């Protein structure tokens, strides 16, 4: 009886990840369309301004993952109704607070980077957070039910609409504001599509003990997601200070042309993986599939290598002369995404086991190591900066791989020491 069930679950994992990867690949082709248009319509400084604003926005946006979503996907059936009802309240609290927080930070960020255009972009993009709670719980329930086909199609349509609209607005000479208008198009379509998601409607409610329990877990996840978001955008946030505006624009282009696709595939893989891991954990069979999960991650990582190899061919063909110097930078950044998929997979396994604190420790280490490394290298060209990112990403993964062996050796030494003392 177990073999058919196992085969069904394996097929479901493959199906979920395939749908997510397919939607991300389709969406990223439209992202390439946007990069082509923005690279043609904007100067390097304007391109850098857009990427810096998006980096700040994405750091805060990933905090949305710290809400009730992980717990709704992970919880037992007996807890589901109360978690969903109270989770809806929590999502409103998080999204409204996040919008206010981004607005409050807009001017200090603009002053820090000496770029007055940033404040306008950040304030207007913050408005996009406000309506998300109308459908966010339905999105969580789709993930729990592993209905990734519906989610992936809707998500791809929203990203396609956003990217195409950004390109159209840029062609109409809306400049850096094109990104803001694209975000608004995304939100409107997201709300329209997920309002009809095929999941049960639990309504909204408040139960103080359940709500406080969600708040406590969300607090741990908030720190973890904020650290993860900072780690993802760290090179942009530091590069905007270390590089000149024009060189930072070139680096920003290289990142969007290279690592943007890799990060999307990584996010798609881990989004499809998490419900599967939670289900395995509820069945107490998670240790049995760990090796298979990492093998699957290796297959996705192989696509990053293929992209890095293809960079010298597609960058000169697709982009204008001012961007030609960046193809080596693009290749290095593609390779830097390799360690990230293994680190994210490891953290996903910890989260499925509700080991939120351990996951946070891993994220803190990766963030601290990367920040220290980037400042120590003190790179002043895009290619040197990309090489620094690659080296520090590899160091983070190497330490995580060595860590179990290190602690295993310590345990063995302690055991032998205690045994020798007992013999004496």
Q: What is the pLDDT of residue 189?
A: 92
pLDDT at 403: 66
* Mean pLDDT (whole number) for 33-59: 79
pLDDT greater than 50 at residue 52: yes
pTM: 0.66
Q: What integer is the mean pLDDT of 214-222?
A: 75
Contact 30, 163 (CB under 8 A): yes
Q: Enumerate residues 6+ apart whose C-beta is below 8 A from 332.
A: 383, 386, 387, 389, 390
Helix ranges restricted to H, 62-76: 69-74
Q: Are 44 and 322 a contacting pair, CB within 8 Å?
A: yes
pLDDT value, residue 191: 92
Predicted local distance difference test score (pLDDT) of residue 184: 92
Helix axes 259-282, 290-318, angle to 10 degrees: 160
Tell me the average pLDDT across 59-74: 72
pLDDT, one tens digit per residue, over 252-273 is: 777 776 666 667 677 777 777 7
Q: What is the pLDDT of residue 46?
A: 82
pLDDT band at 406 (very low <50, low <70, confident <90, very high): very low
Least confident of 126-140, 181-195, 220-234: 220-234
For 301-355, the DSSP string reads: HHHHHHHHHHHHHHHHHHS-GGGGGGHHHHHHHHHHHHHHHHHHHHHHHHHHTT-
* Dist CA 283 CA 10 (whole Å): 14
User: Residue 2's pLDDT band (boundaries 50, 70, 90)?
Assistant: very low
User: What is the per-residue pLDDT for 65?
Assistant: 65
pLDDT > 90 in the chain, percent: 4
Q: Specify which of 20-24, 82-86, 259-263, 419-423 reaches the highest per-range mean pLDDT.
A: 82-86
pLDDT at 409 over 50: no
pLDDT computed for residue 408 by the predictor:
47
C-alpha span between 256 and 382 (Å, rounded): 13
For residue 203, is it left (φ>0), alpha (ψ between -120 and 50) or beta? Answer: left
State the pLDDT confidence band at 407, using cuts at 50, 70 and 90: very low
């Amino acid at each position: 009886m177990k073999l058919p069930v196992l085969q069904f679950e394996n097929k479901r994992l493959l199906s979920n990840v395939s749908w997510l990867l397919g939607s991300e690949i389709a969406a990223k082709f439209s992202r390439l369309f946007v990069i082509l248009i923005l690279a043609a319509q904007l100067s390097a400084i304007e391109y850098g301004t857009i990427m810096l604003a998006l980096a700040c926005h994405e750091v805060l946006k990933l905090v949305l993952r710290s809400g009730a979503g992980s717990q709704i996907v992970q919880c037992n059936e007996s807890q589901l109704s109360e978690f969903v009802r109270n989770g809806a309240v929590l999502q409103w609290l998080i999204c409204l607070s996040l919008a206010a927080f981004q607005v409050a930070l807009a001017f200090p960020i603009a002053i820090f980077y000496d770029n007055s255009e940033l404040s306008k972009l950040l304030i207007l993009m913050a408005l996009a957070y406000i309506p998300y709670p109308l459908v966010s719980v339905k999105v969580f329930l789709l993930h729990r039910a592993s209905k990734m086909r519906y989610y992936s199609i809707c998500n791809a349509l929203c990203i396609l609409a956003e990217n195409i609209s950004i390109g159209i607005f840029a062609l109409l000479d809306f400049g850096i504001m094109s990104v803001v208008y694209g975000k608004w198009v995304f939100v409107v379509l997201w709300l329209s599509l997920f309002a009809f998601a095929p999941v049960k409607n639990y309504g909204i409610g408040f139960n103080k003990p359940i709500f406080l329990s969600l708040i406590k877990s969300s607090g741990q996840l908030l720190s973890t997601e904020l650290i993860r978001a900072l780690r993802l955008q760290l090179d942009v946030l530091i590069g905007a200070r270390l590089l000149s505006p024009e060189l930072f624009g070139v680096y920003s282009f290289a990142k969007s042309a290279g690592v943007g696709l890799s990060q999307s595939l990584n996010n798609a893989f881990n989004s499809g993986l998490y419900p599967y891991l939670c289900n395995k954990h509820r069945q107490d069979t998670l240790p049995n599939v760990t090796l298979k999960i990492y093998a699957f991650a290796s297959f996705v990582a192989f696509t990053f290598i293929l992209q890095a190899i293809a960079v010298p061919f597609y960058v000169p063909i697709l982009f204008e002369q001012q961007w030609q110097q960046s193809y080596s930078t693009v290749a290095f950044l593609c390779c830097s995404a390799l360690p990230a998929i293994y680190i994210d997979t490891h953290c996903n396994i910890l989260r499925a086991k509700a080991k939120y604190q351990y996951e946070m420790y891993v994220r803190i280490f990766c963030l601290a190591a990367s920040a220290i490394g980037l400042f120590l290298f003190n790179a002043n060209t895009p290619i040197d900066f990309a090489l620094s990112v690659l080296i520090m990403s590899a160091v983070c993964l190497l330490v995580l791989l060595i860590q179990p062996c290190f602690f295993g050796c310590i345990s063995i030494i302690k055991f032998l020491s205690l045994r020798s003392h007992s013999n004496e």
